[in-house]
Chain A
């Protein structure tokens, strides 16, 4: 089944404790992206990747890191999480570039205390 898989689905952690949210897709998509969703703010793009070893900042990249060592994986890293990063995070992928439908994962709800 074609899908985008995020882990974990839920995480409660404390300020400053490094965490990684994994994202994997099995559709051989070149483009992958991370979004955060906050009430009243919609979906805001954090980072995106056009292909392996190619990443770029979205609108709200501060406090986040990403890597794209393999085509299928695009982990989101919070080196020193802070409470303002408490949010619902979505990973998405599409075949190529930005003119293709994005397929979203089920989301990861992060709470930083």
Chain B
């Protein structure tokens, strides 16, 4: 069945360093969404990418959707303590089901 692999599982960075998480799907995706879950909280929608090669920015966050619509990335520039949490990608496959990646947990070292 369809799988969405997300790496790395964990990432520790010094405050001010950059951070990137990657998602790779075994099949072509109709779209991909990104969510952030703070410790003890619930997932919160960040953004959706639909078009091949699409790039979207939200302040220090840059989201990309691959040309083949099978991979995506989230890049955070100059991390801050408020960026702590787990970042999930969620891909919509041909069967219209949503598959979440396992998430990347980001720790910020002061």
A binding-site residues for B, Cβ under 8 Å? 33, 35, 40-45, 58-59, 90, 92, 97-99, 101-107
Contact among B50, B92, B96, B100 for A43, CB-based, below 8 A? B100
Contact of B109 with A by CB under 8 A = no
In the assembly, what is the distance between CA of A98 and CA of B44, in Å?
16
B binding-site residues for A, Cβ under 8 Å? 1, 6, 9, 30-31, 33, 35, 41-45, 48, 50, 88, 90, 92, 96-103
Contact among A42, A92, A104 for B101, CB-based, below 8 A? A42
The answer on a CB contact under 8 Å between A44 and B100 is: yes
The answer on a CB contact under 8 Å between B92 and A99 is: yes
Interface residue SS majority, chain A: loop
The answer on a CB contact under 8 Å between A43 and B97 is: no
Contact among B6, B45, B92 for A98, CB-based, below 8 A? B92
Known A43-B103, A99-B92, A104-B43; further 15 A-B contacts with Cβ < 8 A: A41-B102, A42-B102, A44-B100, A45-B99, A45-B100, A59-B1, A98-B98, A99-B48, A101-B48, A102-B35, A102-B98, A103-B45, A104-B42, A105-B42, A106-B41
